[in-house]
Amino acid sequence: MRFHFRLIGGLLVAASFFAASFAVSENVTSPTAAPPMPEAAAPPAGAAVSPPAPQQAESPPAPAAAAPAETAAAPPTQQPAAVPPAEAAVASPDPAAAPAEAAVQPNPADTAPGVGAAVSDAMLQAGYGVFQGYPGQQPPMVLPRKDKLSFYPCAQCHANMPVNTTPRPIMIHATAGLVDGKLDHGQQRFWCLTCHSPTDRNNLQTVAGVKVDFNDAWKVCGQCHSARQRDWYYGAHGKRVGNWKGDVERYNCTECHNPHHPPFRQQKPQPKPPVRSGLGEMPHEGEGEGHPTIWEKHQDRLQPEEGNKK
Amino acid sequence: MNDQHICTCNSQSMATMADQALDALGDPEQAAAREGDTSLQARRRFLQGLGLLGAAGLAATSSVGQAAMSEVQASAQKLGQGNGLSFMDAMGDFFQQHYTRMTDEEMQDALHRIERKAKRKFGVDITCEDVKPMPGTYFGYALNLSKCRGYRECVYGCIRENNQGRDSQMQYIRVLEMPNGDHNLEHSNHYYDPATVPTPGKWYLPVQCQQCDNPPCVKACPVEATWKDKDGIVVIDYNWCIGCRMCMAACPYWARHFNWTEPQIAPEDINPVTAYMGNRPRPKGVVEKCHWCTQRTRKGRQPACMEACPTGARVFGNLLDPNSDIRWILEHKIVWRLKEDLGTEPKFWYFTDEARARI
């Protein structure tokens, strides 16, 4: 039940955030992205849409940040791309929990603090609205990441720098895997401040602006990659370390995937098997250029005359 | 080496064999002492005698063999270990019982023999243990083909862990490279060696022992040197294996391999933590195969291939534990097994990221 309540909460926070940002940026003209929002948020959400948003704007006390929530929101062009994944991540990942059901019949006692009352800053800080895990399954112990980040804490530098929310090539973070200063992830639909908090540099953030610890990076990734996240959570994706028995300890997503360049590396393979002296390699069909596929074998059928003759 | 002596002697005529054997065995202690004096000839004669004894059928009455052994054992203790004193251990190996019939004491002796032999051969102190199956476990393995990049890290993790001969083509895991859209194993290539992998348009299928639940290799073995253990792992008693290779012919996965040559391993590459049913150094002339790292998994650790895999494609676990990773995969992902139509019931499943979960 607690989980359902979180789901709904997350939905509401996400919905309210985007509703607010839509309202602020007037030049949003995407009709495709807007309609799902009110539907996704259950009827009681109407009351809750507004309260968190102002809080969002007020909450960051950061002095240097010349970026209130509306500027922190990505430029208009990014929003249509960002909305569906966020929604999907919050709503769809757990099949067992049946989010639709949960939204239809909210337990008033459970949902009261989330829906009726405004989501407090403290609740957001505690990860309110961020996916925490699936019911009935202990979350895996995730190996910490912070101690492996070469420049962490990021605020060491960024505390003294004004926040520039304009997407632009960032050349200085070349070691982070940026290609020509650009993020090689999401096909240019988002950039640093989508996942990095502009106000609290030592933390990540969800699309809804809720802070997430670097050690919990998987919660940020799962917003879009919810299917992978589910597989990872249950052990079908990602690397388990330590023992097969006992407590489950897994690598974080970012341990293997560079978040700024997620594809797995190309690598020289280990040496091929040796062949005993006097023997040759075991032949296989189509050695050399490889076995032709069936469509390669029958390319000639693309020629109209020959094809007719046959 | 000593086995060779025994074998070559078998061709001699029975009468002279028996005579020679009794002659050589006349005083085992004395023979042992001569051996201690590093008289190679005396040692050979003694061994020959023992071999003849066995061939002549006298040794079959185990009282003679054991009496000789106990005396020789005592002298062996006196003469020290690891100094070329192999005849004693050869005797011990020769009369060693089948794994399931060994008493605890005999097992301990066998383990110590293995340790001494490794010390002699490689100059390395190893520990060998008889790791029993954990109660309440039945192992299964799943491999995510979407994650396999053909790095062959598992192959070499396995070689390092399991003390495989480095030059003998002994690799428990073969990574097959196949063109996309093709699942014909005859089109596969496991000698691929491009500058980098994965090669576009190819996919990779690591194959190792599938630990079949209905293992044809076990049925093929004429001496019951291999069997399915309580935790589902098909194990081999390398001391009992006669090297007939019937199991290799029976295995449809090409998972079993024969030691054509004496396994060569550099002393610094020896993994000193070994198990009787697992990675202890094997002699020439026996069949071996992947055993899911019994020396590790029966103590809760991951198999070496899983630990070595940099992409996390491999998932090992207990099929009897409903909360295990592997059970979730088997119950929620679309999985398949290699050559399932043969009815071997492999406990090795392949799956992909892309297949939708069945929820």
A264 to B311: CB separation less than 8 angstroms, yes or no: yes
B300 to A245: CB separation less than 8 angstroms, yes or no: yes
* Residue whose token pair is 């539907």: A39
Does residue B295 sit at the A interface (CB-CB below 8 Å)?
A: no
Q: How many C-beta atoms surround the C-beta of residue A199 within 10 A?
A: 20
Does residue B183 sit at the A interface (CB-CB below 8 Å)?
A: no
The DSSP bridge partners found for residue B314 are B143
Rounded mean pLDDT, A85-89: 38
From chain B, the residues in CB contact with A284 under 8 A are: 186-189
Evaluated on CA atoms B188, B194, B198, B199, the torsion sign reads: negative
Q: Is pLDDT larger for residue A62 or for residue B325? A: B325
B357 to A231: CB separation less than 8 angstroms, yes or no: yes
Which of B182, B198, B328 is opposite residue A235, by nearest beta carbon?
Answer: B328
**What is the distance in angstroms between the Cα of A232 and the nearest Cα belonging to chain B?**
10
What pLDDT score does A2 carry? 47
From chain A, the residues in CB contact with B264 under 8 A are: none
Which of B155, B302, B312 is opposite residue A243, by nearest beta carbon?
Answer: B302
* Residue whose token pair is 């076995």: A291
Q: State pLDDT tens for residues A97-137.
A: 334 343 444 444 444 444 445 667 777 666 677 888 888 88
CA–CA separation, B342 and B107 (whole Å): 36
* Residue whose token pair is 């059901």: A101
What pLDDT score does A46 carry? 35
What pLDDT score does B136 carry? 93
Q: Is pLDDT larger for residue A10 or for residue B243? A: B243
B151 to A270: CB separation less than 8 angstroms, yes or no: yes
Does residue A296 sit at the B interface (CB-CB below 8 Å)?
A: no
CA–CA separation, B78 and B55 (whole Å): 29
Rounded to the nearest 10 degrees, the angle between the axes of helix B14-25 and helix B28-36 is 70
Which of A137, A238, A267 is opposite residue B312, by nearest beta carbon?
Answer: A238
CA–CA separation, B151 and B308 (whole Å): 10
Rounded mean pLDDT, A64-90: 37
What pLDDT score does A154 carry? 86
pLDDT band at A280, cuts 50/70/90?
confident
Q: In the predicted model, is pLDDT for residue A268 greater than 90?
A: yes
**What is the distance in angstroms between the Cα of A130 and the nearest Cα belonging to chain B?**
23
**What is the distance in angstroms between the Cα of B248 and the nearest Cα belonging to chain A?**
17
Question: Which chain B residue is nearest to residue A136, measuring alpha carbons?
Answer: B323
* DSSP designation for B269: G
What pLDDT score does B263 carry? 87
Could you give the C-alpha distances from B53 to A221, B14, B26, in angstroms and in order? 72, 10, 12
What pLDDT score does A22 carry? 42
Q: In the predicted model, is pLDDT for residue A310 greater than 80?
A: no
Q: How many C-beta atoms surround the C-beta of residue A28 within 10 A?
A: 17
Residue B55 CB partners (closer than 8 Å, separation 6+): B6, B9, B10, B12, B14, B17
From chain A, the residues in CB contact with B306 under 8 A are: 240, 244
What pLDDT score does A309 carry? 53
Q: How far is CA A294 from the centre of its chain?
A: 39
A239 to B184: CB separation less than 8 angstroms, yes or no: no
Q: Is pLDDT larger for residue B212 or for residue A62? A: B212
Return the residue in A142, A253, A265, A270 with the most chain B beta carbons within 10 A, the one to mutate for interface testing. A270
* Residue A238 and residue A141 in contact, taking contact as beta carbons nearer than 8 Å: no
**What is the distance in angstroms between the Cα of B206 and the nearest Cα belonging to chain A?**
13
Q: State pLDDT tens for residues A15-49.
A: 444 444 444 333 333 333 333 333 333 333 333 33
Q: Which amino acid is at A138?
A: Q
Q: State pLDDT tens for residues A137-172.
A: 888 889 998 888 888 888 888 888 888 888 888 888
Q: Is pLDDT larger for residue A14 or for residue B346? A: B346
Return the residue in B134, B149, B191, B297 with the most chain A beta carbons within 10 A, the one to mutate for interface testing. B191
Q: Which amino acid is at A240?
A: R
Does residue B240 sit at the A interface (CB-CB below 8 Å)?
A: no
CA–CA separation, B188 and B176 (whole Å): 6
Does residue B169 sit at the A interface (CB-CB below 8 Å)?
A: yes
Token reading at A132:
């925490």
CA–CA separation, A4 and A230 (whole Å): 16
CA–CA separation, A148 and A176 (whole Å): 12
From chain A, the residues in CB contact with B144 under 8 A are: 236-237
Does residue B226 sit at the A interface (CB-CB below 8 Å)?
A: no
With H, G, I as helix, E, B as strand and everything else as coil, classify residue B54: helix
What pLDDT score does B317 carry? 94
Does residue B174 sit at the A interface (CB-CB below 8 Å)?
A: yes
Token reading at B114:
């293995």
Q: 78-97 in A: which are within 8 Å (CB) of B?
A: 95-96
* Residue A177 and residue A184 in contact, taking contact as beta carbons nearer than 8 Å: yes
What pLDDT score does A291 carry? 63
Tens place of pLDDT per residue across chain B (359 aa): 344 444 333 434 444 444 444 444 444 444 444 444 444 455 555 555 455 444 444 444 445 556 555 666 655 554 444 444 578 888 888 899 999 999 999 999 999 999 998 988 888 999 999 999 999 999 999 999 999 999 999 999 999 999 998 877 789 999 999 888 888 888 888 889 999 989 998 899 999 999 999 999 999 999 999 999 999 999 999 999 999 999 999 999 999 999 888 888 999 999 999 999 999 999 889 999 999 999 999 999 999 999 999 999 999 999 999 989 999 999 988 999 999 999 999 999 999 887 565 54
DSSP B87-114: HHHHHHHHTPPPGGG--HHHHHHHHHHH
Q: How many C-beta atoms surround the C-beta of residue A154 within 10 A?
A: 16
What pLDDT score does B309 carry? 94
CA–CA separation, A104 and B261 (whole Å): 70
Does residue B149 sit at the A interface (CB-CB below 8 Å)?
A: yes
pLDDT over 90 percentage in chain A: 9
A235 to B325: CB separation less than 8 angstroms, yes or no: yes
B179 to A291: CB separation less than 8 angstroms, yes or no: yes
**What is the distance in angstroms between the Cα of A244 and the nearest Cα belonging to chain B?**
5
